[in-house]
């Protein structure tokens, strides 16, 4: 039986009655992560992007285009994470982005945000699994006869299994793997920073594109296309608030964790952007599948021990991001399912309080897509980037609307600059959505189609069957009650 509630947050929504034990079977482990582990989680989400992927933007817009893209997208992420720090300290639920948008934009806005995030986090590990296979094959760890799909399968089985084992154990192991990757980046910086030649940054000849120059060899179109690759330096940092229900003190730990992670990523991203093309040339690095080791070999020769170490650590960086984004997709799916937006069985948790079905189902889909695309990680990542940029528009809009509609809401942290800060991020995120179509219209179109189908499912089915006792829905109903009283 469903009951209808009519107000700003619940208009045209039906809530289903559930048993008293419904939430008892959907519990996450509290207090598993402090702010240091949360910062490590934030770095883990993104660190693979420092080892590869971003450099393809050199072939898209030249070093100048990618530099501008890095600055613009870095500004977007900094502004957005400041807004997320406020919202996650105010509404600390596993739904994170969906929960913030649910309170600010209503059920449709919340669901759309959650699904866009879920598209991003489901596709990113699928893409990273293909990169892991590439690194394993390049390092000669396995015989050449071993097919790539078996590597995808092993990666999913091992790391989904660890997450099912327990969140505390998973986060600690993730922290160790991330630390290895960070050490490798530091070794790369200290070993290479003295060999930069600024002429290498501008070794791509200007084309006849509009606005082309030695700084922007592919002109304005190349600059726009570079925005997507600027995102790769930071993609998925917004997933830190998904651990809110498992953190020790979300009001204190969430802002500290996400902002510490963002600071580390900005520094490493800037260093990679300067050192890699500055030592080995923008033209060569724009076509490299393994830019850091190739840059080292360009300076120190083919038998460089540093190149070998960084090559192995690059695999650790890929594993760290793969491992951590599995955590992210499971928590977003868990929250949407627990509240009834998606089938409820997906949010069941086991004895160790991990959402095992929400871990297995997207992992299975990701593995199938990795195989079906023939290991084309590029198209999978472009689908992920489209989902990400759509969610960024809605997340920043959520912060703005919460500040306007609920100025007296108790906040554990307040964003410096208020809505002006997240308005900057909102404009840049909207530009980034457009850029995804410039880079790969097919991938962006596929992602948009999936999002439309998901919205249709919500509109015609699940919006009549939501769960009133889910934390994100309780937050929304509290806001509605306060509206009525005022």
What CATH number should be reported for the domain holding residue 57? 1.20.1740.10
CB 55 within 8 A of CB 325: no
Question: In this structure, is residue 372 part of a structural domain?
Answer: yes
Banded model confidence at residue 374, pLDDT cuts 50, 70, 90:
confident
What pLDDT, on the 0 to 100 scale, is given for residue 3? 41
Going by C-alpha positions, the residue among 271, 300, 226, 220 that lies closest to residue 54 is 226
Q: What is the pLDDT of residue 90?
A: 85
Residue 73 has pLDDT above 90, yes or no: yes
Domain contains 98: yes
What angle separates helix 250-280 from helix 35-46, to the nearest 10 degrees?
30
The yes-or-no verdict on residue 306 having pLDDT over 90 is: yes
How large is the average pLDDT for residues 9-34?
Answer: 62
Q: Domains in the chain: how many in total? A: 1
Does residue 11 fall inside a structural domain? no
What pLDDT is attached to residue 20? 64
Q: Is the pLDDT of residue 5 over 50?
A: no
Over residues 289-311, the mean pLDDT reads 90
Please compute the mean of the pLDDT values over residues 407-432 and round it to a whole number: 93
Asked if residue 344 belongs to a domain, the reply is yes
The answer to whether residue 10 is domain-embedded is no
Within 232-311, strands assigned E span none
pLDDT at 113: 95
CB 234 within 8 Å of CB 389:
no
For residue 7, is it within any domain? no
Q: What's the pLDDT tens digit per position in 244-282?
A: 666 667 777 888 889 999 999 999 999 999 999 999 999
| pLDDT score at 247 | 67
What is the reported pLDDT for 480? 57
Burial 457-471 (b: 16+ CB within 10 A, else e): bbeeebbbebbbebb
Evaluate if residue 56 carries a pLDDT over 90: no
| Mean per-residue pLDDT of the chain | 86
What are 316-347's pLDDT values in tens digits? 888 888 888 898 899 889 889 988 999 999 98
What's the confidence (pLDDT) of residue 164?
Answer: 84
Between CA 40 and CA 55 the distance in angstroms is 24
| Cα→Cα distances 146→141, 242, 349, 424, Å | 10, 36, 35, 48
| Mean pLDDT, rounded, for 90-97 | 76
Which residue range forms the structural domain that includes residue 432? Answer: 32-476
Q: What percent of the chain has pLDDT over 90?
A: 49
| pLDDT of 9 strictly over 70 | no
Nearest alpha-carbon partner for 441 in 379, 393, 392:
379
Which of the pair, 110 or 95, is modelled with greater confidence? 110
Question: Which tens digits make up the pLDDT trace of 466-476?
Answer: 888 776 676 56
**Which tops the pLDDT comparison, 217 or 253?**
217
Residue 167 belongs to some domain of the structure: yes
CB atoms within 10 A of CB 169: 14
């Amino acid at each position: 039986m469903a009951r209808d509630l009519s107000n700003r947050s619940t208009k045209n929504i039906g809530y289903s009655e559930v048993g008293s034990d419904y939430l008892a079977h959907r519990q996450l482990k509290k207090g598993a992560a402090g702010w240091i582990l949360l910062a490590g989680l934030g770095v883990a989400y993104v660190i693979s992007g420092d080892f590869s992927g971003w450099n393809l933007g050199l072939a898209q817009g030249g070093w100048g285009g990618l530099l501008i893209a890095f600055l613009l997208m870095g500004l977007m992420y900094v502004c957005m994470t400041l807004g997320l720090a406020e919202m996650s300290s105010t509404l600390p639920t596993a739904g994170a982005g969906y929960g913030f948008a649910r309170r600010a934009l209503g059920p449709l806005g919340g669901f759309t945000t959650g699904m866009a995030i879920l598209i991003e986090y489901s596709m990113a590990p699928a893409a990273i699994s293909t990169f892991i296979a590439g690194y394993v094959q390049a390092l000669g760890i396995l015989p050449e006869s071993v097919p790539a799909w078996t590597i995808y399968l092993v990666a999913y089985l091992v790391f989904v299994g660890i997450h099912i084992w327990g969140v505390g154990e998973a986060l600690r192991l993730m922290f160790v793997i991330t630390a290895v990757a960070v050490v490798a980046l530091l070794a790369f910086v200290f070993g290479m920073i003295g060999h930069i030649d600024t002429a290498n940054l501008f070794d791509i000849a200007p084309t006849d594109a509009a606005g082309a120059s030695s700084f922007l060899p592919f002109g304005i179109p190349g600059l726009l296309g570079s925005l997507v690759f600027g995102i790769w330096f930071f993609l998925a940092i917004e997933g830190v608030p998904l651990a809110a229900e498992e953190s020790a003190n979300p009001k204190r730990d969430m802002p500290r964790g996400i902002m510490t992670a963002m600071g580390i990523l900005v520094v490493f991203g800037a260093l990679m952007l300067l050192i890699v093309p500055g030592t080995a040339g923008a033209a060569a690095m724009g076509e490299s599948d393994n830019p850091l080791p190739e840059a080292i070999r360009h300076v120190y020769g083919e038998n460089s021990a540093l190149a070998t170490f960084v090559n192995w650590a690059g695999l650790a960086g890929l594993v760290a991001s793969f491992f951590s984004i599995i955590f992210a997709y499971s928590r977003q799916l868990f929250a949407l399912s627990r509240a009834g937006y998606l089938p409820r069985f997906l949010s069941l948790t086991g004895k160790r309080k991990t959402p095992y079905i929400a871990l297995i189902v997207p992992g299975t889909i990701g593995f199938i897509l990795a195989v079906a695309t023939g290991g084309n990680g590029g198209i999978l990542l472009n689908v992920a980037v489209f989902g990400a940029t759509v969610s960024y528009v809605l997340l920043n809009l959520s912060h703005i609307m919460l500040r306007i509609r609920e100025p007296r809401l108790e906040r554990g942290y307040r964003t410096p600059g208020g809505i002006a800060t997240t308005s900057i991020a909102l404009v840049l995120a909207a530009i980034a959505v457009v850029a995804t179509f410039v880079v790969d219209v097919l991938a962006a179109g596929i992602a948009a189609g999936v999002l439309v189908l998901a919205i249709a499912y919500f509109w015609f089915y699940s919006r009549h069957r939501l769960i009133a006792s889910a934390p994100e829905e309780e937050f929304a109903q509290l806001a509605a009650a306060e509206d009525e009283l005022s």
